Amino acid sequence: MCARVSRKRYVVLGIGIAVVVLGGAFSWGGEQEPLPLSSWPRRRAILLDPPTSRPNTVVELVLSTESLGKPYRHINPDGSDLRFSGPDGKSHLSYWVANWDPAGRSTVHVRVPGPGVGRIHLHYGNPRVKSLSDGASVFEFFDDFNDCLWTKHPGNPVLTRTAPWEACVICEPSVLHEDGLFKMWYMGCATGIGYNAALGYATSADGLAWTKHAGNPILREPKEAVIRTTVLKHRGIYYLFGSNHQWTKETGVINRWTSKDGLHWGEKTTVLRPTQPWEGHFHNVGVIVDEQGTWRMLYTTDGPFGYAWSQDGLHWTKHKDPVITGFYGGDPYLAKIGRRYYAWHSREHQGHLRIYCSQSTDMVHWECPDSRPQIGYTQPWERGIGRSEIRWDRHLSDAELLEHGGKVWMYYQGAQCPLGVAVFEGTLAQLAARLDHPPLSKFSPSHYGCVEDHELKLSDNPSDAEPLHTRTARFADQEGYVVECRVRCYAGYQELPARVEPPDGWATPTRSVGAKSFRPAVLMRYADNNNFARFRLEDNNTTYYEERIGGVWSKPAAIGANGICDEGWHTWKIVVRGADNHLFLDGKHVGHHPSSQALVHRADLGIGVSVRNTFVSFDDVRVAKGDWSHRKLQLGPEEHTAPASH
């Protein structure tokens, strides 16, 4: 039915038919008017017993080989020809395919607009049509996270420390693709403080498996650091820009080197010094040459970002004021795409650095098109788990983008040492266009949670008190509603006090170590960050109900064993009726618990998710208003209507 189905493991909800009674007006969510159902040569009646009692009812159908054959007879293998109609057999009904298996059981949700409907129709047998499966037209709230930007390489990290000169840190990648090779320049240093940072070089045939140059480091300054580096190529010459400030008392400067082959560097020139009271220490720099031949630089200090421009790359003019302020960040990758400038950079929130994107039309006035991070903590190595580079577990930075082979490659560093890669399927121009409609736009802005590989991934403990929650969808408990989603816990961790201080004297109060942990939570009654209720799984196989009222946590109430503390996909269903909340996991009723009066009789409730000490994927989050009830399904015999003519 959809390409994403083949990439996910789906859990069948059960056999039969389930009905959710909805409120609101019916609307068709397809991109174009559907073809008349007379174009479908086969159909079957579906009898609902009892009929729908209210307008806009979501009917859950479970199709099986028992009635449709194995595989399903006369139905396209991918299910693209499925259509549903009302009692008249002519009016299209919106539907969403939750999972598709023509050799087993498939789950489809259909929205029936009218009350008192006891018969709908399944249409099939048209081989020349595309699927119109659309969850947004079925549910009151729906997000399948298929609008992802980046997919991280599952084999990350792709470059790690292997030599004494890079024993403390490797980061700051610059990547070009030339002569059939990916070429990477990166910074490494033996200790955190001093002047030992130097430039390394590596090559790769596929952008994933890298071979370091035998002569590394290829550039070292005996009395200065070569750090915070960036490399670009202009008119056949390689240019290297970098700071000499390696966490010392000096403010640092920005130097420039040139090379004809990318290996032998000379003509060192200082091109930028601190001159403004807001500049402080010089850190990172991003440089491009635009189509008019103007060199443009975005550089970072102890907080604000500065802007400078040049006609020759040597003599630079600074803008008098900082151009990006309001947070600590750095490591900018600068690009001009169309008429806009884009900077992928790190940004700090609660002691953690994540990768964000800002944009500008003039290099002076910048805005963040999406206040959410593009790259967050979704792979354990990024927190230092299982690696010796564990002293810095709060760094995701050093984004470097490269367009090649119809893809955009982003190289970045995690835990301040290894380098990973993520891929966007498309061009830089397509990526820029997508930034106008980023993932998670249905959720309130949050520094936690990233859509990656068509899943929402979350691993941030602060989401306990700042859950990721829906932006506009609000529901009334008196009317009742149902929350469903799929959840997978794929790794766990603990944060413990550091036992050993780093040898260079840097203070490291906490660090992350691997641990088995399954602690996801789904919020079914969310009013604000100080008032919400949720069901939470614990790795002791216990399921808890708990509330946060007025910013104070209630004592967790155990409601039953969950039996799903593993790394597989599982389906959560929460039924909210008045004060009561029922939890079903994989179709099995786990237990229920009433909410306190502070969260009852409200019409402004939303939903959300949170985690603790766990890497969790969420998928197919959806809400339907009304009660959830099971009804009998009777599938009528196959009827021949007309040959497919379209």
pLDDT per residue over 138-162, tens digit each? 999 999 999 999 999 999 999 999 9
Q: What are phi and psi of 600, to 5 degrees?
A: -110, 150
Half-sphere exposure of 152 (CA within 13 A, CB side): 26
Residue 28: per-residue pLDDT: 34
219 token code pair:
């550039």
Residue 516: per-residue pLDDT: 65
CATH number corresponding to 151-163+222-434: 2.115.10.20
- Can you spell out the DSSP letters for 317-357? EE-SS-SB-SS-EEEEEEEEETTEEEEEEEEEETTEEEEEE
Using alpha carbons, select from 562, 594, 567, 560 the residue that is nearest to residue 579.
594
State the residue for tokens 């082979």: 405
Maximum alpha-carbon separation in the chain: 85
Burial of 536 (0-12, 13-18, 19+ CB in 10 A): buried
pLDDT tier for residue 512 given thresholds of 50, 70 and 90: low
Higher per-residue confidence, 246 vs 445:
445
Q: What is the pLDDT of residues 264-302, one digit of tens each?
A: 999 999 999 999 999 988 899 999 999 999 999 999 998
* pLDDT greater than 60 at residue 451: yes
Rg, the chain, Cα only: 28
Residue 611, H or E segment? strand 606-611
Residue 248: per-residue pLDDT: 81
CB atoms within 10 A of CB 612: 18
Using alpha carbons, select from 423, 418, 357, 429 the residue that is nearest to residue 392.
418
User: Domain 450-629 belongs to what architecture?
Assistant: Sandwich (2.60)
Please report the sign of the dihedral spanned by the C-alpha atoms of residue 152, residue 433, residue 288, residue 353. Answer: negative
Long-range pairs of 26-31 with CB within 8 A, sequence gap ≥ 24: 26/55, 26/56, 26/94, 26/111, 26/113, 27/94, 27/137, 28/92, 28/94, 28/137, 29/94, 29/134, 29/136, 29/137, 29/138, 30/94, 30/132, 30/134, 30/137
Residue 495: per-residue pLDDT: 67
Q: What are phi and psi of 81, to 5 degrees?
A: -90, 5
* pLDDT greater than 50 at residue 15: no
641 token code pair:
């209507």
155-174: average pLDDT: 94
d(CA 593, CA 177): 58
d(CA 92, CA 531): 41
d(CA 97, CA 137): 12
Q: What is the mean pLDDT of the chain?
A: 89
226-231: average pLDDT: 96
* pLDDT greater than 80 at residue 533: yes
DSSP code for 597: G
CB 155 within 8 A of CB 107: no
**Would you list the domain boundaries of the chain?**
3-149+633-640, 151-163+222-434, 450-629
Q: What are phi and psi of 39, to 5 degrees?
A: -80, -10
Using alpha carbons, select from 585, 470, 471, 450 the residue that is nearest to residue 518.
585
Residue 172: per-residue pLDDT: 95
pLDDT tier for residue 16 given thresholds of 50, 70 and 90: very low
DSSP code for 65: H
Residue 388: per-residue pLDDT: 61
Residue 629: per-residue pLDDT: 60
pLDDT tier for residue 13 given thresholds of 50, 70 and 90: very low
DSSP code for 54: S
pLDDT tier for residue 390 given thresholds of 50, 70 and 90: low
Q: What is the pLDDT of residues 61-115, one digit of tens each?
A: 999 999 899 999 999 999 999 999 999 999 999 999 999 999 999 999 999 998 9
* pLDDT greater than 90 at residue 386: no
pLDDT tier for residue 518 given thresholds of 50, 70 and 90: confident
Half-sphere exposure of 498 (CA within 13 A, CB side): 17
d(CA 464, CA 362): 39
pLDDT tier for residue 387 given thresholds of 50, 70 and 90: low
178 token code pair:
């030339």
By percentage, how much of the chain surpasses pLDDT 70?
89
